[in-house]
Chain A
């Protein structure tokens, strides 16, 4: 059974600082996704990572994938308050097409 773990579960950081969220998964997968959820809102797709070494960047967020280590990271550069949200990674279940297993989420709070 595929298990997905994120850490930390909660992260409070000051504006302007850098930090990384980690996503570990237990079995081989061919795709990994990052989502953002604002309080009381739905989940919004941020990145899709499909191969070992893949890196994608959007603004102050950069996601990477190491399939050998079964690890993805979401790096936040010079955080701003607008990035406050919960971030989920989701891993594709190999052989079951579109099914995803979601991590527990990391609640990010950026303070002024």
Chain B
């Protein structure tokens, strides 16, 4: 399996522009997570989905952030408009729901390579 795939790997944009980050989870995983990592705040959970349905978006910092999962193999995180304080590494992770499920241990989250976002 190719693991969790994220694109782009690096994104540099100007304040006010729309940014879209993409994620393809491991096939067969039921859960998908979006995290943000910064030096100041560490690793923060933004939102997670179960079977394509958003379960908890309490970590989404404000209305400028939105996430979708139109099918089991694709999710997007959108920031509109972007601000310099959004600069961070954004990780996508996926996990199986049950022990012995395809691709991993019980609820272990498998992380993608991340997208490094810089907003100027």
Contacts and interface: CB of A to CB of B under 8 A. Distances in A.
B26 to A, nearest CB: 12
Interface stretch (A15-23, A40-48, A58-66, A69-77): A40-48
B24 to A, nearest CB: 14
Interface in B68-120: 91, 93, 95, 97, 105-114
Chain B facing A: main interface SS: strand
Interface in A22-64: 31, 33, 35, 41-45, 48, 50
Given A35-B111, A50-B106, A100-B109, 12 more contacts: A41-B113, A42-B111, A42-B113, A44-B111, A45-B108, A45-B109, A48-B106, A97-B31, A98-B31, A98-B97, A100-B45, A104-B42
A45 B91 CA distance: 14
B114 A42 contact: yes
Nearest to B43: A102
Interface residues of B, number: 24
Nearest to A100: B109
Interface of B: 30-31, 33, 42-43, 45, 48, 50, 55-56, 91, 93, 95, 97, 105-114
A112 B48 CA distance: 41
A31 B109 contact: no
A58 B109 CA distance: 19
A48 B108 contact: yes
Nearest to A31: B107
A96 B56 contact: yes
A99 interface: yes
Contacts of A44: 111
A31 B99 CA distance: 13
Nearest to B110: A45
A46 to B, nearest CB: 10
